[in-house]
Structure 1
Amino acid sequence: MENKTKKRSLLPNGCLCVLIVVALFGYLGYVMGVPNMLNTIMKTAHDLLINTVFYLMSICVITGALGRVFVEFGVVSLLEKLLRPLMKPVFNLPGVSSLGAVMTFLSDNPAIISLANDKRFASFFKKYQYISLTNFGTAFGMGLLVMVFMVGNGFYAAPFIGLFGACCGCVCSTRLMQRFILKAFPQYAHEKAVEIEEEEMTAEESDKPKKSVFIRLLDGLLDGGRSGVDVGIAIIPGVLIISTFVMMFTFGEGANGYDGSAYQGVELLPALAYKINFVFEWLFGFNDPHLVAFPITALGAVGAALSLVPGFIEHGWVDGNAIAVFTAIGMCWSGFLSTHTAMLDSLGYRDLTPKAIIAHTIGGLVAAVCAHLVYMGYTLIFA
């Protein structure tokens, strides 16, 4: 009887999955033709791998090496000390949390978890603050990569305006998450995240072999570069799978119709976005409905979202405002839908995942709106 009930419960999910796959590929095949659809999928994925993923990986290697050198020679500690006075009044977090912001900006979202799992670091936090670190750290994930990518495409002021927008979104997301936590668990306002003895705080400094400056520099560059390769490899599935299908639902047919070339599609997303384009134009200042593909993709993977930008630039859809909004929402969201569950699970608060997702969704939208408004002010002053 148990096996029969299991089969019955699994059947609707299996049917739903088949229906969705058939509907998606059936629609693409109907509009483009099945041979053209298959050729476009393969050629788009191949071109993204060669011309986008390896470019992003090279940025990851350079920024990873730079970030590790900053850690090794105390630049991160210096930045942490400079930012520490802002933490309590702005984010309602202890001063040491600024280290988490710097580390995630230089690397990726999970860097905040490796810090949070350090007992000395966690001992500074109340429980509600400790849990909100997931939202706080995610808002700066892969920030250096996003900034370097945008500057590399010829935009200079807009990415920094986007960084300010991401900070505004981070404040909103972090404080909203803290509010959700305290409403559900008022006792967390006074409970410490970790209880640690004073002896443990001082005992960790063990005798380490001293190294020369050259060896420390070399180790930092190579170890950081290696971690950049790991990040570059990690973004491959997101870029190839998510971006390929987002592009096929964003771009249209070629000049000669559908011929199986890369970057052709059915323009479904712009058609849907066009019906409510006034919302995106009012909130984000988007001049073209195609641009909505970036925030949708950034929900799952910011690397995949960045791969859309060169195509937008080539088609002439992008201006400085769009880059500012892309930087803000890309950095603030930075694929949080694919990382929030694992991050909160590693902290031991999996049940709070829905609240964290709601708070961070709102934070990302606030980041984009702030970037748009600040860019409008910037153009009024410097135009």
Structure 2
Amino acid sequence: MSSTKVKKAIGLEGVLCLILFIAFFTAIGSKMGAVNMINTIMNTAHNLLLNTVFFILAIAVIAGAIASLLSEFGVIAIINKILSPFMKPLYDLPGASALGIITTYLSDNPAIITLADDKGFKRYFKKYQIPSLTNLGTSFGMGLIVTAFMMAQKSPTGENLVFAALIGDLGAVIGSIVSVRIMQTFTKKYFGTEEMAIKSSNPKDDLLDTREIREGSIGGRILSSLLDGGKTGVDLGMKIIPGVLIICTFVLILTNGPSAQGYTGAVGEGVGLLPWIGSKLSFILEPLLGFKNPEAIAFPITSLGAVGAAISLVPSFLSKGIIGGNEIAVFTAMGMCWSGYLSTHVAMMDSLDCRNLTGKAILSHTIGGLCAGISAHLLYVILV
């Protein structure tokens, strides 16, 4: 339970906050124009609510219903038993966590949060493992969309990009392992390594060998599990609204540039600060990622805020000859592994009641995404 502290009503903290607040919006407003800046913030937040939050809400409802159904009839128990020998040494997670990889790969990052709220899924985890599900799920968010998009591109040189995209998937797996393992070094210190996420209602029961079911006929259990799981998805979908609207709006403003007509107050306009920072770091990133053109840095930087926006850069890059197979592999790995985590990690950690560990999750995943890109580059050099 969170506690509150008492401080003096007026102090240095308030003055510094006011100065930084004014400086931040003055800097952005001086470039975009004050009216355009306000319109862009409001229009972007409204667009995110309609086209992103409700999409995620729909995913959460469907994923919650499916997870509850699979839990009710013991499918998650089977998955846990089969995949534990692989997930434990790689991720230090139970085999049931593989279901989180599948659901996020087929949908988006927050799908794993719906799973994590299901008691039938959560019962296989220890407390320290639960927060790292944010890093695991985010590593594979929108994986199918990103991979299919990359495979569908045509190289001007006739290069086979299908194999490059598959290498990128493998790079994302490596990045996910790094991210989860780093995150768990923090959560083990915070929670310890013994306490289970859910305690059995009957102390004599072994959580791994027993499971609770609903009363009634098979048809009734199916209907109840689907509706209960869907309701959980609604609750979680509503919880992420503040994080997505606030964080993602400002990430997009710091990532994107002006529209073709300049600054008009339209959705998604921005000051391009993050790509500019990326260009200054290109002397480090280019050798590690194998980029042959510094403009390619725009993809991983943009994917920090929204991988959907990042993949829209690819056709233009290909037509201009800026990127090739190596970049497609790296883009797939980093796009999938990062997949807009700056705009979802806060909301996801909040949903898991682990808000105080959000900074640790972001740090771990930043390192994991870089390792995903570096791994994809090295694998491409070795295999192609």
TM-score by length of 2: 0.68
Alignment of 1:314-325 (within 5 A): 316=317, 320=328, 321-325=330-334
1:256 aligned partner, one-letter code: Q
User: What is the CA-CA distance between 1:21 and the residue it aligns to?
Assistant: 1.8
CA distance in 2, matches of 1:147, 1:104: 10
Alpha-carbon distance in 2 for matches of 1:110, 1:364: 23
Distance of 1:283 and 1:368 partners within structure 2:
9
> Offset at 1:54?
3.6
Question: Which of the pair is proportionally richer in helix?
Answer: 1
Q: 2:371 matched to 1:369? A: yes
CA RMSD in angstroms, aligned pairs only: 4.5
* Structure 1: segments with no counterpart, 5+ residues: 123-129, 298-304
Q: Is the 1:104–1:110 Cα contact (8 Å) retained in structure 2? A: no
| Stretch moving more, 12-21 or 279-288 | 279-288
Secondary structure of the 1:253 match is coil
Q: How does 1:1-383 map to 2 (within 5 A)?
A: 6-7=8-9, 10-92=10-92, 97-103=94-100, 106=103, 107-109=111-113, 111-112=115-116, 121=124, 130=126, 132-141=128-137, 146-150=142-146, 153=149, 164-176=170-182, 199-201=204-206, 205=212, 208-212=215-219, 215-284=220-289, 287-294=295-302, 296-297=304-305, 305-306=306-307, 308-309=309-310, 312=313, 316=317, 320=328, 321-330=330-339, 335-336=344-345, 340=349, 343=352, 353=357, 358=360, 361-362=363-364, 364-374=366-376, 377=379, 381=383
Q: How many correspondences in the alignment?
A: 346
| Alpha-carbon shift at residue 80 of structure 1 (Å) | 1.6
Q: Deviations over 1:327-368 (max 9, x none)?
A: 12349888445555885769xxx7xx5xx9558724542344
Q: What secondary structure sits across from 2:137 in the alignment?
A: coil
Partner of 1:126: none
Range with greater deviation from structure 2 (316-325 or 254-263): 316-325
Taking the aligned partners of 2:7 and 2:63, their CA distance within structure 1 comes to: 52
Superposition deviation, residue 285 in structure 1: 5.4
**2-structure distance, mates of 1:253, 1:138:** 32
In the alignment, residue 102 of structure 1 is paired with which amino acid?
L
Instruction: Give 1:20's aligned amino acid.
Output: L
Could you tell me how far apart the structure 2 residues matched to 1:45 and 1:372 are? 34
Percent of aligned positions that are identical: 29
Change (3 A) 1:61 1:200: closer
Post-superposition Cα deviations, 1:48-83, rounded to whole Å, max 9, x if no partner, equal 333343444444444444444433444333322221
Partners of 1:195 and 1:72 in 2: CA distance: 18
Q: Does 305-314 or 269-278 show the bigger shift?
A: 305-314
1:108 partner letter: I
- Structure 2 residue runs of 5 or longer lacking an equivalent are 1-5, 104-110, 153-161
